Amino acid sequence: MPKSPRFPPTSVRSVEVLAFPGVQILDVTGPLQVFASANEHIARGGGVPPYRLCVAAKEGGPVASSAGLALATDPLPSTPAEVDTLVVAGGPGVDAAAADPDLISWLRERAGRARRVASVCTGAFILAASGILDGRRAVTHWSYCDAFARRFPAVRVEADPIFLRDGPVWTSAGVTAGIDLALALVEEDLGRETALAVARYLVVFLKRPGGQAQFSAALSLQTAGDRFGSLHRWMQANIGANLSLPSLAAEAGMSERSFSRYYREETGLTPARAVERLRVEAARQLLAESRQPVKRIAQRCGFGSEETMRRSFLRLMASTPQDYRSRFGVSSLAVGTPP
């Protein structure tokens, strides 16, 4: 398991990113650019670049990413030298990588020499295959969380965080969440000021508001059996209508008591919380794509009042509707009637 390195924390930190055929290119280049930008920021101030970067693969040489672009890689380091940060990328090739006994054996050994280990997106499958995540909390891309939990029952999967830390092991959600994770690692190493400077340069949030469940409320409600799939589609089509417990139970053809119990068992949420998620998602789309007044959007999405919608946004998005629109709304629309 990861442990404290023998070199002083002020030394140049080695960062190794594990790649493989079919790797998701942003899982590699996103975190790498964060560390590289930190190097540039420190160098501009007259300091010594704090990170030494390496992309490694089993055979070394060009490795084809899932996008078709080849990455130049070094062979897997075989020396006993310590490594500061070991990052495992994800992508469509993770299943083959996780089934490669030589790669997994190397990963176990290398992780034991690292101060910290991290995965990006579905790279968590490779970490879990090595046993590094056993007994730990972890996150991966929201669309793979159920499959991950079934495949690795010894790992405590959390579906919502953009990234999370369990001791020296860090995992992140889908694709661009690797940038969020890398910024957190830079902040831990070099302080908030440097991490914020890097985030500003890359034009990203230092700490992104909300979790990854915000990106598809309807999909986050799906389960393996999807017992209430048709109900969820009906809820989306009638988002501004009466979606009270009696209304939902009637649509599902169940008593209120049975519906409440089975729905929570199936989705992990109360019906009221599920309705709230779907309404926030509908409001997000209108806030981003139209210039309708916030009050009108609240009414169209079934919140009843602007204040109710504001509270829901703060709870689920860590942002107000106005702040969300200012960040993600259209910059300009043709003059005329709002869509």
Active site residues: 121
* Residues 92/96/101/105 CA torsion (nearest 10 deg): -10
Say what angle helices 321-328 and 306-317 make with each other, to 10 degrees. Answer: 70
Distance CA 183, CA 188 (A): 9
| Integer Cα distance of 247 and 239 in angstroms | 12
Q: Number of helices and strands (H, E) in the chain?
A: 15, 10
Buried b (16+ CB within 10 A) or exposed e, 210-233: bbbbbeebbebbbeeeeebeebbe
Beta strands (DSSP E) in 156-280 are 156-157, 163-166, 169-172
